[in-house]
Structure 1
């Protein structure tokens, strides 16, 4: 049966409708609305600061195994990239004439602050030597470019030279592109120095020097022009990638906590600025006066570090000055800066880098500050894990054994302004 609508309900509806109509008639006419225009997309400003590669960004400079195999005859078993750097650093051997030719013989990783490495076997080398390629970060662009200037000078001046006998360099320089430079060639040395030939290639971009070394057997050598071009093109691609990354994610500065010089040393922080109230870049007099109640021990030799001992005698810091003036603080070490200096100090009484202290395992430092380089120096027996910032500050976690070994312990932590390191002098 259909529903009926009562007169009372119909009247109520009519009244509501009439009221609504009257209100609408009295309301002001709405202003015309314009549809919102699409919001304009603001392009980020392209990064134009210093071109400084840090940490795993160095991997951008490494060619692929396929690319290497195409330009290095006999290269096999190309390794995965590694963050481990082995150094000899013994400085031995005769000096060539002219002196600039030592640039070819020098261990290029000296004074670097980070590295990524690939290596390979050389199938036709009777001595089963391995070739390698290092992407080496220096503290700033000036240091890397100065090293490349020296190497290019050597390439020009050392076509023949004396290295305890007749020696020579024969190579090719790639056309530069976007501040990227590269060259490659073969160095031949006399029988007195072991004889034989070695293939070298170098490229530079920003704060990075790429160093390729390959042993040669017989008369077959890589095409110098092809290798130089490969390294140049890879460096140019890395430059573009880094600029894109820094444009999208501009670099940030580390926040430095407020320092209370009177607080216990264990409450001080190791930061890019220094250790507690002791600041990198201060004069040694100002730095030494910043620690109330401490005992000051003068350097044991010219150019040696100053030692600051806490009032209780339970903790010590070492302050090193710039080589250039001997007066400005360049590095501060908490604990020991040598692997073999005996038992570590009590980390509970010393400043810390974040939550990482002396006595902690180096694995804790790697987890807290990833992207560093593990270093072994054969001549001194020193081991360390090192991380660098874009402004050239280097943090060194000195360990009691190889970084990769289980339970390797931190015996010292150093903060250094690596931008003031001296340039290698070839006379």
Structure 2
């Protein structure tokens, strides 16, 4: 029997009874607790930490979101923590699904009643539902077949006679023709992967509607063998014109088969576990939306690698990699995303900002902007951080802005302060609906 636990980033898990369960603390079984400890010990040498062991009865989760399924049947859903306080699980789940779909550029289909209820289920059920809808749509358009070369020995001649093999037959076997011919079969890499994903879902889904649909789709693939080499079959996945209608289902198939999972679960247990580092997820989500909002002549580069911090012994050392680099007509902007909670009213404690982040942006400004231009740190917008902070000046020519990104309207709140070449930005800080065209002013670097 599957036990479901829903918590947030940095929540604490224990095996002891809890008087008041919340998104920040929950009880799990002893077997799930021990499995998390073993898994964390296996991945720790790679520099990744899923949990922090506080003592023999408490674990504290790190900044990963998604779902973990343990061998004992415990499903732990980890939601993003974008606001202080208790929060709402349904709202956080909807936000997490939108961010994953936006960051990975997943084709989300919203249809009927399922679309209205999709966020009431854990992340894995949402991924499963999206995959099944995409696969159902693919089957209605037609499953592609391909010619497969077959070599056989038969009593009747058809296709092409393999003369070399025929001449090598021992006496008494010449009545069998060594032939090769092509058959038109649906046994191809794409269909084998889809068959494996459907069978995986039939075993794992807890949603009755998804289980019924998966069983129906499974019967349609009964003649197709399942994939036995996932990595090799994904390499053979074709993207030509005849296979265009297969492209919508591929990213969901990759998620179901855990090929897009940023954190791989080590071990023999093969439950559906999807874990995403929240810092990286926020970075890619912001980049995806800013990329769509830029002027046609502006260019966005993620994780730029053109500059180094210093030279040493005839070579460059310590590569500088800002999250976002925007260029237009000779002007550059450097932006860095941080998944942290900023308090716009707490000036006494520097608004909760990190001095190390400012050192980092200063280095970016010196190397990428030659010490002259606009920098920005982007944090998630929240009730305590609704508008940009006053400017931080490194000098008269190099300025740093701290800007909120609204995760509900998917807009950067900058009030034209940075003069970024965006097509549309909110016309005021408190108005996220009315938009106007931004007049772009460029300042040569």
Same fold (TM over 0.5): no
TM-score (norm 1): 0.24
The structure that is helix-richer by fraction is: 2
Higher relative contact order (CA 8 A, sep 6+): 1
TM-score (norm 2): 0.24
Structure having the higher Rg: 1
